Amino acid sequence: MENAVNCNVATQYKDEPLLNSMRVGQRVMISAIKSCPAELLRKLVSMGLVSGSEVTVTQRGFFGSPINIKLFGSVLSLHSTEAAHIQVQPL
């Protein structure tokens, strides 16, 4: 597929932790979205997972996936591989 694109914006935040390593109850601010298929990127962005958004991890499934996060007025459910595209700053 043609849509795996590198997102240059991310390179400057190399050392930051990823959303999939966060524990339940942790509050974080999204700093960037790493290289990620364009369709997934569109989806994440349209749902509000953009840099500057603050989210709280509310729940994790068996072996840590899916990972549920609270953003705005509702809970989003992501697979851990998807959460691995999201760089965060713990708050």
Give the residues lining the site for another protein (CB under 8 A): 1, 3-9, 32-33, 35-48, 50-53, 56, 58-59, 61-63, 65-66, 68, 70-79, 82
Rounded to the nearest whole angstrom, what is the least distance from the CB of residue 83 to another protein in the complex? Answer: 9
CB of 49 to another protein, least distance (A): 8
Where would I find the beta strands (DSSP E) of 1-91? 4-5, 27-33, 36-37, 54-60, 67-71, 74-78, 86-90
Residue with Cβ nearer another protein (21 or 68): 68
CA-nearest of 71, 76, 72 to 60 is 76
